[in-house]
Amino acid sequence: MTTMLPGGRTLVGHQHDLRLVPAAITVWASGLLGLLWGSWAAAACGTVGVLLAIAMAWHTLAARARRAAARRLPAAGALLVCGILAVGPLTARLADAERDPLRVVAEEGADAVVRAAVAERPRPLRSAGYAAQPGGTRLVLVPVTIVGALAGEREVRSAGRALLIAPFDGWSRLLPGQQVTAAGSLAPPRPGELTVAVIYVRGPPRDVTVAPWWQRHAESIRSAMRSVCSVLSPEPAGLLPGLVVGDTSALPPRVEQEFLDSGMSHLTAVSGANVAIICGAVLLLARALRLGPRVSAIVAGVVLIGFVVVVGYEPSVLRAAVMGAVGLLALVLGRRGSAVPALAAAVCLLVLFDPAMATSMGFALSVVATAGLVLLAPRWADALGRRRMPAGLAEALAVPVAAFLVTAPIIAGMAGEVSLVSALANLLAAPVVAPVTVIGALAAALAIPWPAGAELLVQIAGPGVSWLVLVGREAAGVPGAVLAWPSGWWGGLIAAGIVVLLVLALRHRPARIALALALAALLVVLVPVQVVAPGWPPPGWAVVACDVGQGDGLVLATGEPGRAIVVDAGPEPGRLDKCLDQLDVDRVPLVVLSHLHADHVGGLSAVLDGRAVGAVALGAGRSPAWAWRQVAAETSARGVPLLELRTGDRLGWPELRLEVIGPHYVEAGRGDDEDGTGINNTSLVLRASTPAGRVLLTGDIELAAQGDLLNAGADLRAEILKVPHHGSRLVLPQFLSAVAPRVALVSVGADNAYGHPNGTTLRLLTGGGALVARTDTGGDTAVVTVEGGPAVVRRGSSRRACGRPVPTARSPGRRRQ
């Protein structure tokens, strides 16, 4: 029996050939344990496989059963061969990596000059901006194979793998096969890797050789594909190359994060689905042209090789390519292929070829997802069909649920979180994935010889790509979309145990009834709370500190529905945009940027895109220059005027008054210091009058600016204080006493590297009677009016909470005297 899947994929019926599975498990376990515990563990695991193979063969021959012998002896033979290979070549490679001379030098932290061959395309490292450092990609990871090394005066003979962490400029354009010379500091690799050293590179690559012709041609195809995709809007234009050839260099960080949260990130990591779609389309075309099976398989094999070269040698790509090649070989030989032997053979070949794949998360997810689709999805689809569910709907439900359940333990253990919306999101995405992939592949093929035709195909695929962006965004925005989970082995084992118990329980009717009742009870409890009487945004909110990470992003209500003032925009667009959406803000009369540090202006595009913005205002500072140019460009492109606010300016709306009370100086050069203190001290300081009380918005002012405000005799009293500089230690006790806040809002990122908020600052605030509300622990935080005074409503941090926390209101008690 064969079950058809979206995109032309097939799931072969329930009688599976499992004879290669023990061999695959032995090889994978040998590689995994060898990397985690040492080469001795690989040898021990391989020895166990050899002994089991001998015992299996002996038992089969002693039984003298011809049928059993025909079935078991090939399995025993494969296990014996793989066990010997694990004991021999696999163990030897792991031992060589353990004893590599460069590993010893790396343990010392020495400087070195290395000659290396690039093994994979450089992978960008994206980071949020902070202070004077802009957000984006500043570094790349470059996997290399060492050719030679010089540490000081010592020549180090090494042929091991290393990971270069290098500047983006100059290094991002390297291609596999090129040789380069790099100078930098050595560091030991992480445990459980075949890498012998990590090198923090200083300067550009030197003595770069020419890349192989096929790599240069592949890069030309990727570049042309990015170019023709520019006819779409930025988000679909960045996503389509990722769907087709795994090129995510232009993918906006917001879309990338939303795909992670919604469990759709596998769509941009080329794997078995892409190979199945591409090869399936080629085979269908060959059948339409009436080509024979062997010719069709050869043509599909040539396309597969070209596809792998263009995409790159990622673990999931290689697994899918080897599995596809095994299936095509079976077609050439005139034998009906089976997915399970092909998958097992792919695991054996790839782990023996590259033991590092044994600990690769992408490889593990690819293998178990394929196994789930082959072994579980057809059975579940049949079971649903027997309950009179239409075949197409049954298969569409079984596939994403099976993939979600088998991959959830790995994701939980390695990432420390589980996407609860993954199955539904992938179900909604599935109908367009195959058409978009095929059309995108055709566009990539035509991008160089016929760009106009490729652009037409891209525009045809555009609505499907936009649909995927929409699905990812809406799924990621579901309350509790991401469930925090214990990371590590225990977290993965707990998740696996829950999945096994759930699957076993659902085989029995009483368990299914109990689960249905439990889900109904949850709906009865949660729907009235979250839908009928939603907890967010709280009624009558006056100010909201959005959880934008390590930065500031505040929203002030104007008293008019849908209209609000935004003060600072955080380091990146995604979180602020989500916060504004949840507050139903679609009109922003004024955006105030307190100063031009990256963690206050990086998310400005989130406010400007899709909303009516009256103006963007800032102070007299124009440093850092890159940030000023970025703000000017973003506002000019959207026709939004730029205003300059000065001390003493006043602005008003129905239920909001703003007054600029600082800074009291802007001295030449003080905004250009290296540590950012001068720029921080030029922050605009605003006093807002709201129904919940006065709000003092302080930007990142430090000691000098706080002292200037005190010396100027400014009226600093406010019920609500936006604590300066994310709660840093640079705060004057006299300043806090002058403000005397009842509520202190600390906008700060979780687990940040700056020590914010400072413990002393928090003790000063609580000692003065203030209720401290932090965005890193409470998520989006609103201030409302309760009994004539301010009260705090916390939405809860989606990254740390199990599901969506019920917002709670808390009003500060009486101030200590």
Residue 817 buriedness (CB in 10 A; 0-12 / 13-18 / 19+): exposed
Q: What is the pTM (predicted TM-score) of this model?
A: 0.77
pLDDT band, very low/low/confident/very high, at 754 (cuts 50, 70, 90): confident
Inter-residue contact 379 to 14 (CB < 8 Å): yes
> Higher-confidence residue: 18 or 316?
18
* pLDDT at residue 512, as a whole number: 66
- How far is CA 319 from each of CA 289, 308, 336, 369, 550, rounded to the nearest angstrom? 29, 11, 20, 12, 38
pLDDT digits (tens, 9 = 90+) for 255-293: 888 888 888 887 887 776 778 788 888 888 888 888 888
**pLDDT surpassing 80 at residue 229:** yes
Q: Which range (319-323, 553-557, 579-583, 591-595) has the least confidence?
A: 319-323
Q: Which range (211-215, 391-395, 660-664, 746-750) has the least confidence?
A: 391-395
DSSP string, 540-573: T--EEE---SSS--EEEE-SSTTBEEEE---SSH
Mean pLDDT of the chain: 84
pLDDT digits (tens, 9 = 90+) for 755-769: 899 999 999 999 989
| 510 prior amide bond cis, ω within 30 | no
Q: Which range (317-331, 419-433, 487-501) has the least confidence?
A: 317-331
* pLDDT at residue 583, as a whole number: 92
The enclosing H or E element of 347 equals helix 339-353
pLDDT band, very low/low/confident/very high, at 447 (cuts 50, 70, 90): very high
pLDDT digits (tens, 9 = 90+) for 17-39: 788 899 999 999 999 999 999 99
* pLDDT at residue 7, as a whole number: 41
* pLDDT at residue 503, as a whole number: 77
* pLDDT at residue 161, as a whole number: 93
* pLDDT at residue 525, as a whole number: 57
Structure tokens at 126: 């994206």
**pLDDT surpassing 90 at residue 674:** no
Alpha helix stretches (DSSP H) within 568-624:
573-582, 598-601, 604-608
Inter-residue contact 746 to 757 (CB < 8 Å): yes
* pLDDT at residue 14, as a whole number: 53
> Higher-confidence residue: 41 or 520?
41
pLDDT digits (tens, 9 = 90+) for 615-665: 999 998 888 989 999 999 999 999 999 999 999 999 999 999 999 998 876
* Number of alpha carbons in the 13 Å side-chain half-sphere of residue 700: 30
Segment 710-726 shows an average pLDDT of 92
Q: Among candidates 563, 792, 557, 580, which has minimal Cα distance to 690?
A: 557
> Higher-confidence residue: 351 or 385?
351
* Number of alpha carbons in the 13 Å side-chain half-sphere of residue 185: 4
> Higher-confidence residue: 813 or 195?
195
- Pick from 140-154, 385-399, 504-518, 530-544 the range whose average pLDDT is largest: 140-154
pLDDT band, very low/low/confident/very high, at 812 (cuts 50, 70, 90): low
Q: How far is 287 from 292, CA to CA, in rounded Å?
A: 8
Torsion of CA 519, 521, 527, 533, to 10 degrees: -160
Structure tokens at 416: 């420390």
Structure tokens at 662: 């600082």
* pLDDT at residue 669, as a whole number: 39
Q: How far is 545 from 570, CA to CA, in rounded Å?
A: 11
**pLDDT surpassing 80 at residue 509:** no
pLDDT digits (tens, 9 = 90+) for 470-497: 999 888 877 667 777 787 778 888 888 8
* pLDDT at residue 808, as a whole number: 40
DSSP string, 298-333: HHHHHHHHHHHHHH---HHHHHHHHHHHHHHHHHHT
pLDDT digits (tens, 9 = 90+) for 696-710: 999 999 999 999 999
* pLDDT at residue 361, as a whole number: 81
* pLDDT at residue 498, as a whole number: 83
With pLDDT > 70 as the criterion, what percentage of the chain qualifies? 88
Alpha helix stretches (DSSP H) within 685-751:
703-711, 733-739
Q: What is the largest CA-CA distance in the chain?
A: 101
Segment 55-83 shows an average pLDDT of 77
pLDDT band, very low/low/confident/very high, at 374 (cuts 50, 70, 90): confident
Q: Which range (57-66, 521-530, 792-801) has the least confidence?
A: 521-530
Torsion of CA 608, 611, 617, 622, to 10 degrees: 0
The enclosing H or E element of 200 equals strand 195-201
Residue 603 buriedness (CB in 10 A; 0-12 / 13-18 / 19+): buried
Check residue 699 and give left, alpha or beta (phi > 0: left; psi -120 to 50: alpha).
left
With pLDDT > 90 as the criterion, what percentage of the chain qualifies? 47
> Higher-confidence residue: 507 or 169?
169
Segment 775-802 shows an average pLDDT of 77
pLDDT digits (tens, 9 = 90+) for 73-103: 888 899 999 999 999 999 999 999 999 999 9
Q: How far is 167 from 164, CA to CA, in rounded Å?
A: 10
* pLDDT at residue 276, as a whole number: 78
* pLDDT at residue 673, as a whole number: 57
Q: How far is 30 from 48, CA to CA, in rounded Å?
A: 10
Segment 583-604 shows an average pLDDT of 93
Mutual angle of helices 339-353 and 361-375, in 10-degree steps: 170
Query: How far is C-alpha 385 from the chain's CA centre?
Result: 36
Q: How far is 36 from 455, CA to CA, in rounded Å?
A: 48
**pLDDT surpassing 50 at residue 564:** yes
Segment 660-679 shows an average pLDDT of 67
**pLDDT surpassing 50 at residue 8:** no
